[in-house]
Structure 1
Amino acid sequence: MIYLLICAVSVISRGFAGLGTEAAHTMFAFAAHPWVGLSVGILGTVLIQSSTTTTAIAVTAVGSGALSIEGAIPIILGANVGTTVTTSLVALTFIGNRTEFRRALGASTVHDFYNWLALLIFFPIELVWHPLQRISGTLTDALYGTDWLPNPAHFNFIRAATRPVEHAVIQATTHISSTFGPLFTILIGAGLILVAVRYLGKLLKLLMVGRARDILIKAVGRNAYLAMASGMGVTVVTQSSTITTSVLVPFAGTGILKPAQVYPVVVGSNLGTTFTVVFAAFAGVGQDAKIGLQAAFVHLIYNVFAIIAIYVIPLLRPVPLFCAENLARVASEHRWVLAVYLGTVFIAAPALVIVLVGVL
């Protein structure tokens, strides 16, 4: 499945290259506005239920020159938020019992409010001073051409491994017009990413039962930073922060774990999900592949900064948990509140922004 993911990224990259620079830029022109890009990241991730897919597509678009790094950053930040919806939906399985529903929802929505708080802090800062763009650029420049870390552009074994799949897809679309052929190639690549992430998640979720599940629960209960490391490690393995957090929601609902114990796992899972995209960025081809790697580093740096600002520094640490537990308390008494919250924040508001900016 990891091989399929890398192949999919390469296929998308070839598709964008086939479009030509002008056509590719036109395709992403609608997301050039930072608020639209942010909304596209949120809404797109809600619809396909995979921040890895959304971020990988954005990184690949940057790597092929179809999207600027400035345009990709809001999409990446938005994807970080949109991925939290699934965990909230898992909590709905406890809606028949008010107490269990409150516990489960408190544990699930702490992921929401952590990511919203991170966005509230760093998105305005990025719009004004561009620290994520600058730092990721510096990091990318430092890593390229060094003796201790090979240039990712020279990872020929990835190109050799993915070339058969690339050629098969391109051959299948060559009979289509010069414009629609590359478009179909991009769609096939996006579909392959979605299949790879989905199937890999389902496959590896089987690991989160029995002894593996018990080990995670013990790690969560001992120490906050050990719990954070556990969340990061499990997410690296499963390629999905949603899987990591969703598995713990039932334990919170039944009272085995408290929302406060799930909280650091959420923080760690956010960081863990960035490594897939960084690795996938190595499959980028073309003269802009280096910028594609920079876009992947944006995702990593953003989550590191969020951990420092919200969790490591104790001032803001209680905020996500406080908001989650209060929403859970209100929603357990008035269950329509959750539907309004999810529908408004994750669907209606981003869609409205896209429409309004497009009209204006």
Structure 2
Amino acid sequence: MEFKAVLRRLWKIFLLLALIYIFMLSIKMIGGSFKLMGKGFAESIIKTTSNPFTGLFIGILATSVVQSSSLTTSLVVSLVAANVLTIPLAIPIVMGANIGTTITNTIVSVGHIRSSEEFERAFAASIVHDFFNLLNVLLLFPLQYFFNILGFLAGGAAEIFKNVGGLKIFNPLSLILSPVAHFVVHFFKGIPWVGIIFSLLLLFFSLRYIVKFMKSVVIRKIEVYFNKYLFKTTVRALLLGLLFTSIVQSSSITTSLAVPLAGAGILSLEKIFPYTLGSNIGTTVTALLAALATGEISAITVAFCHLIFNLIGTVVFLPLRKIPISMAKMFSRISVRNKLVPILYILVVFFAIPFILIIFVE
């Protein structure tokens, strides 16, 4: 009987790991399909940046289309290096990219929409990232526009570290996710929208059963483990987000993984918020190390700008975390009462408003 119990436990662990793999794979595939469909659009729209205001909204729209702040930042770096963009115009695009990248975990939270209780927790866990970035932009964009604060700090840091050299961090997840994701994305190369639909179906399927599995089998053990060890203190949660994202090299994956944990009631919003801030910093560390390896001052400046933007936001809003957390909880309660709100939120905030304002400001 003991042997059977061990086998049953191992089988359950295997199933959970398989579901998590499918979940992460689907996020990678969504990003790959969107990149295939929107990379040309993103590059062309970034080239049209003529002032900091349009730069901010171009950053949001371009990143929402390609589902990757890393790709947007890379395009910005290459255009700055080619003298197509100036650094003062590039910085607001990086700010906008920080907002646009949160679309992935917001889409993930919609997978919980059938259960009001689950959805309220999951949606709040995803949009707290949005509200942090929006508040950070409201704080830093005027300071950047009038005083060039990020340009000054990033430029100074770039001069100090330009000859340090960088390194490429080994990404273990890439070994098991990228081959399958690339195969599927290129299978649907001619019809990327079909690849997006297929990836979303995989995402919602894996999400549903991850939460179902955790609720029925392992929720108490996982809850104790997460709260007692991984997320015990604010600093520990922040460092976990930073280190995990630095290794995985994708804040979309690391922040999206927290959404089902919130939906299942394992993690509270108060625990997730510092983890999200750590993920925000972690995603800039890998880009910075890659930029340092090139030795190009423009690439290093843009990478430092991204890092400093998130560091300042963390220093300011971690002590004031009640503000974004309260905003997320309030908006989540509204969304539970009307399930159209989250869909409209994604379409309006990430696509309609940036598109209209780009045309209007231009």
Q: Report if TM-score (shorter chain) is over 0.5.
A: yes
- Is 1:326 the counterpart of 2:326? The answer is no
Maintained 8 Å contact 2:162/2:292? no
Q: TM-score, normalised by structure 2?
A: 0.69
> Mapping of 1:12-161 within 5 angstroms?
30-144=48-162, 149=164
Counterpart in the other structure of 1:228: 238
Q: 1-side partners of 2:57 and 2:92: how far apart?
A: 8
% identity of equivalent residues: 35
Maintained 8 Å contact 1:219/1:227? no
Q: 1-side partners of 2:77 and 2:317: how far apart?
A: 26
Maintained 8 Å contact 1:87/1:246? yes
Counterpart in the other structure of 2:299: 292
Shift of 1:353: 1.2
What's the secondary structure of 1:273's corresponding residue?
A: helix
* Aligned with residue 262 of structure 1, among 257, 272, 291: 272
Counterpart in the other structure of 1:240: 250
**Number of residues of Structure 1 aligned to a counterpart in Structure 2:** 273
Shift of 1:221: 2.9
Shift of 1:282: 3.8
AA aligned opposite 1:252: A
- Is 1:336 the counterpart of 2:340? The answer is yes
> Mapping of 1:145-224 within 5 angstroms?
149=164, 219-224=229-234
Mark the CA change 1:65 to 1:251 in structure 2 (over 3 Å): closer, same or farther. Answer: same
Shift of 1:218: 5.1
Q: TM-score, normalised by structure 1?
A: 0.70
Q: 1-side partners of 2:224 and 2:158: how far apart?
A: 39
Maintained 8 Å contact 1:59/1:281? no
What's the secondary structure of 2:137's corresponding residue?
A: helix
AA aligned opposite 1:232: L
Shift of 1:90: 0.9
Shift of 1:137: 1.0
AA aligned opposite 1:356: F
Shift of 1:30: 1.9
Q: 1-side partners of 2:58 and 2:260: how far apart?
A: 30
List alignment gaps of at least 5 residues for structure 2: 1-43, 169-198, 204-213
Q: 2-side partners of 1:216 and 1:58: how far apart?
A: 38
Q: 2-side partners of 1:27 and 1:113: how far apart?
A: 25
* Structure of greater relative contact order (alpha carbons < 8 Å, 6+ residues apart): 1
Mark the CA change 1:280 to 1:228 in structure 2 (over 3 Å): closer, same or farther. Answer: same
Maintained 8 Å contact 1:104/1:250? yes
Maintained 8 Å contact 1:41/1:74? yes
Q: 1-side partners of 2:284 and 2:95: how far apart?
A: 12
List alignment gaps of at least 5 residues for structure 1: 1-25, 158-197, 203-208
Shift of 1:106: 1.0
- Is 1:301 the counterpart of 2:270? The answer is no
Mark the CA change 1:283 to 1:65 in structure 2 (over 3 Å): closer, same or farther. Answer: farther
Q: Deviations over 1:218-241 (max 9, x none)?
A: 544301110000001110111111
